[in-house]
Amino acid sequence: MTQVVFKDLGLIDYKEAWDYQEMLFDQTVNIKFENRKLPVHQQVKTKNHLLFCEHPHVYTMGKSGKPEHLLVNEEQLRELNANYYTINRGGDITYHGPGQLVGYPILDLDHFFTDIHKYLRYLEEVFIKILADYNLKGERSEGETGVWLDAGQTNARKILALGVRASRWVTMHGWAFNVNTDLSYFDHIVPCGIFGKDVTSLEREIGDKVPMDIIKAKAHKYFEEVFEVELTEQSR
């Protein structure tokens, strides 16, 4: 079974986590690049990683994002105690904050399948399974990544956002799952560049806070099931 090194970073500044991702990503890509020059028996096997974390309030803008989708200025960002970064993942603008489970898989898809669309569907499936544990029907919305409730309806609401980067079939960035998230922070952006659709959280849907440790355990379990891997824990 494919091994994935798992690390829970806890509450961590966005830039610090991004730099750590980049380091793991670059290591993996460089190994693959060097392996191309070597005979098979000398090649080094790449490692796969999965990071869990939460971030202090931060807005991130992906490569296809539009600056006008951030609806506040620098002074208002300071009042919100929020940072803002333009980053190298796909997608538009999103919010990260406490009470949101963020996951960053740094996977060499040559160990799995070389299909980014399939990879995104697998990530969605992890959280569709978690929602089912709470009698919620998580769904995909045609033409839009992520997981929704009542997809295609007038009251459609997004609970999981995805944004990834891949090079040489190595992934980085990942998901944001709203657990006990302060949803008011989404009022200051056009989430994922999608107008007129609501954002929700597990807390809002079931009417009660959910301990983050429970959601982490479920995400850990279902990631192993969906990707058919074994997560090997590594302390921070």
Q: Note the pLDDT of residue 206.
A: 98
How many Cβ atoms from other residues are within 10 Å of residue 188's Cβ?
17
AA identity, residue 31? I
Give per-residue pLDDT as tens, 123-151. Answer: 999 999 999 999 999 999 888 889 999 99
Average pLDDT of the segment spanning 206-217: 98
Q: Note the pLDDT of residue 196.
A: 59
For 106-162, the DSSP string reads: E-BGGGT-S-HHHHHHHHHHHHHHHHHTTT--EEEETTEEEEEESTTSTT-EEEEEE
Query: Quick one: pLDDT band at residue 56, thresholds 50, 70, 90?
Result: very high
Q: How many Cα atoms are found within 13 Å in the side-chain-facing hemisphere of 211? A: 3
Q: How many helices (H) and strands (E) does the chain have?
A: 5, 12
80-116: b (≥16 Cβ within 10 Å) or e? bebbbeebebbbbbbbbbebbbbbbbbbbbebbeeee
Q: Note the pLDDT of residue 23.
A: 97
Per the prediction, the chain carries an average pLDDT of: 93
Q: Note the pLDDT of residue 81.
A: 93
To the nearest whole percent, how much of the chain has pLDDT over 70?
97
Rounded Cα gap, residues 192 and 137, in angstroms: 21
Pick the catalytic residue from 151, 162, 192, 219.
Answer: 192
Rounded Cα gap, residues 131 and 117, in angstroms: 21
Give per-residue pLDDT as tens, 58-80. Answer: 999 888 788 888 999 889 999 99
Beta strands 144-149 and 157-167, pairing class:
antiparallel
Domains and CATH numbers, the chain: 2-233 (3.30.930.10)
Among this protein's residues, is 192 annotated catalytic? yes
Query: Quick one: pLDDT band at residue 191, thresholds 50, 70, 90?
Result: low
Rounded Cα gap, residues 183 and 191, in angstroms: 11
**Which tokens is 213 given?**
């440790």
161-180: b (≥16 Cβ within 10 Å) or e? bbbbbbebbbbbbbbbbbbb
The yes-or-no verdict on residue 93 having pLDDT over 90 is no
Higher-scoring residue by pLDDT: 198, 100 = 100
Cα-Cα end-to-end distance for the chain: 24
